[in-house]
């Protein structure tokens, strides 16, 4: 029963991980968009002096866009995205969702296996010993002789 509880907890946590990954990426996109808006309000006076002399076309819009970008970066790094960020960093970002899917499949497989074992034990108990429980058999398909392992 502990195994089932643990697997259910892990399966539920994956939903929070997925939401955290989406939120992190969503806020990153909004921050990038706001930063592009801010840069669009900037105009350079000269190609040669692009870093030295920059003027702002509309100070209010520029300030608004920078403020939005800052707010989105703060939300991107908020606590509710921490689980997703951590998982994505571990999964090398690009593979985060496929790795998450593999984890989910493995956890579900373990959950169904544990549930099946629980049902088997409950059936054996209900039979009150009159019928022996099915025998669990380990099968090795590696082709390596037992003495060589």
Which pLDDT tens digit goes with each residue over 92-117?
767 788 888 888 999 999 999 999 99
* DSSP code of residue 148: G
Q: Delimit the domains of the chain by residue range.
A: 2-47+54-127
Question: Residue 31 — pLDDT band, cuts 50, 70, 90?
Answer: confident
Sequence-distant (≥ 6) Cβ neighbours of residue 102 within 8 angstroms: none
Query: For the chain, what is the total number of helices (H) and then of strands (E)?
Result: 4, 2
CA 134 from chain center: how many Å?
Answer: 39
* Position with higher pLDDT, 67 vs 115: 115
DSSP-based three-state secondary structure for 141? coil
CB neighbours (10 Å) of residue 7? 20
pLDDT reported for residue 32: 84
pLDDT reported for residue 48: 40
């Amino acid at each position: 029963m502990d195994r089932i509880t643990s697997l259910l907890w892990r399966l539920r946590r994956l939903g929070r991980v997925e939401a955290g990954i989406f939120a992190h990426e969503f806020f990153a996109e909004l921050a990038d968009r706001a930063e592009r808006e801010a840069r669009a309000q900037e105009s350079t006076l000269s190609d040669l002096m692009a870093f030295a002399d920059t003027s702002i076309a509309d100070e209010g819009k520029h300030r608004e866009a920078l403020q939005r970008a800052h707010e989105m970066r703060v939300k991107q790094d908020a606590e509710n995205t921490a689980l997703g960020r951590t998982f994505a960093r571990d999964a090398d970002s690009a593979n985060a969702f496929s790795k998450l899917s593999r984890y989910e499949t493995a956890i579900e497989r373990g959950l169904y296996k544990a549930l099946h074992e629980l049902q088997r034990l409950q059936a054996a108990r209900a039979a009150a010993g009159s019928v022996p429980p099915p025998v669990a058999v380990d099968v090795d398909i590696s082709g390596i002789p037992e003495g060589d392992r």
